[in-house]
Amino acid sequence: MPVAKVTEIIASSSKSFEDAVNQGVERAHKTLQNVKGAWIAEQQVKVDGAKITEYRVTMRVTFVLKD
């Protein structure tokens, strides 16, 4: 029976929330094996004046442990 683990990752992008999620998943895949899913726990923006300068997401990534 497979056993999964969940880890929390924070990623950011100057483009969009979607890009931040993509960057987080891509980076997790470089370090973790058997990434199976992710869910977004939190979204934030960094603001400078009246302009959004950075999109941030906190995500929980699920991966299956090797036997």
Q: Where are the domains of the chain?
A: 4-64
Chain segment 23-34, per-residue pLDDT in tens: 999 999 999 999
The reply to whether the predicted model has a pTM over 0.85 is yes
Chain segment 1-28, per-residue pLDDT in tens: 789 999 999 999 999 999 999 999 999 9
How far is the C-alpha of 40 from the C-alpha of 43, rounded, in Å? 7
Nearest to 19 by CA among 49, 43, 55: 55
CATH class of 4-64: alpha beta
